[in-house]
């Protein structure tokens, strides 16, 4: 089973909103060329889109999701998910660690206080470790099957590339997705009614490894920003001591 990098983000956001390339420019010097971005040719657009369609697996993802309306922040979420290899007494065990926070305002039209949630838990195939109010962890025995590397399962072929720019050994591919292809791009209909969906994918210039994805759109008067970072580093970690 795949562990997709959507983080259930589009479905969650949809529910909330409903209910409320290589450079082609010449330069006088190599130092100047390395610091100046240039819009690349169509061939570079095709090359980096091909890279984007063929990403493999990632072991660490970060996400920052912001929803605003009228200049006010309605929802903010910052999460880091990582797949590790256990060390010490759990050497060789697959470990998922998720930590971060969420802040949500119930209704911008009301003077309601924001709700804040701290997220910090570990999962291994046979147990989950969750943090409590005292700052210690509690272990619960349970079956966790989906502890696998993350994949990016968007249908990038449904998008229209606007440009590719090269700078500092990275390529930035800017693209849009039309409203009639948005369901295909995401894989569900949670963003029906959105007509200004755009994203920028950042990849390594050589090899095209994805390092970041910035998504932006509006729906029902809310502006949404989703910023993701990716890493293929698979390191080790020790599990917390459960009380």
Query: pLDDT averaged over the chain?
Result: 85
* pLDDT on residue 105: 80
Element (H, E) at 223: strand 222-231
Q: What share of the chain is helix, strand, coil (3-state, %, to 5)?
A: 20, 45, 35
Distance of CA 46 to the CA centre of its chain: 23
Distance, CA of 135 to CA of 242 (rounded, Å): 11
**208-220 burial: b if 16+ Cβ within 10 Å, else e:** bbbbebbbebbbe
The domain at 3-20+36-233 falls in which architecture? Clam (2.50)
Structure tokens at 76: 């903010």
The pTM (predicted TM-score) of the whole model is 0.82
The model's pLDDT over 36-73, given as tens digits with 9 standing for 90+, comes to 344 444 479 999 999 999 999 999 999 999 999 888 88
DSSP letter, residue 243: -
Is pLDDT of 165 > 90? yes
The model's pLDDT over 61-105, given as tens digits with 9 standing for 90+, comes to 999 999 998 888 899 999 999 999 999 988 999 999 999 999 988
Distance, CA of 82 to CA of 58 (rounded, Å): 9
């Amino acid at each position: 089973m795949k562990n997709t990098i959507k983080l259930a983000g589009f479905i969650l956001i949809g529910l909330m909103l409903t209910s409320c390339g290589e450079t082609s420019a010449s330069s006088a010097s190599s130092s100047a060329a390395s610091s100046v971005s240039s819009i690349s040719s169509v061939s570079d657009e095709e090359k980096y889109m091909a890279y984007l369609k063929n990403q493999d697996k990632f072991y660490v993802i970060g996400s920052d999701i912001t929803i605003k309306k009228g200049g006010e922040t309605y929802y903010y979420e910052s999460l880091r998910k990582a797949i590790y290899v256990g060390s010490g007494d759990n050497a060789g065990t697959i470990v998922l660690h998720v930590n971060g926070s969420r802040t949500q305002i119930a209704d911008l039209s009301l003077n309601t206080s924001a709700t804040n949630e701290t997220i910090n838990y570990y999962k291994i195939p046979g147990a989950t470790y969750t943090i409590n109010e005292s700052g210690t962890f509690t272990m619960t025995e349970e079956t966790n099957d989906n502890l696998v590397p993350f994949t990016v399962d968007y249908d990038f072929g449904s998008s229209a590339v606007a440009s590719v720019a090269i700078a500092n050994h990275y390529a930035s591919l800017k693209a849009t997705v039309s409203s009639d292809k948005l369901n295909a791009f995401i894989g569900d209909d949670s963003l029906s009614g959105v007509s200004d969906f755009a994203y920028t994918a950042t990849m390594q210039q050589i090899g095209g490894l994805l390092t970041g994805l910035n998504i932006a759109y509006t729906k029902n008067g809310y502006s949404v920003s989703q910023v993701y970072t990716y890493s293929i580093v698979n390191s080790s970690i020790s599990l917390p001591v459960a009380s």
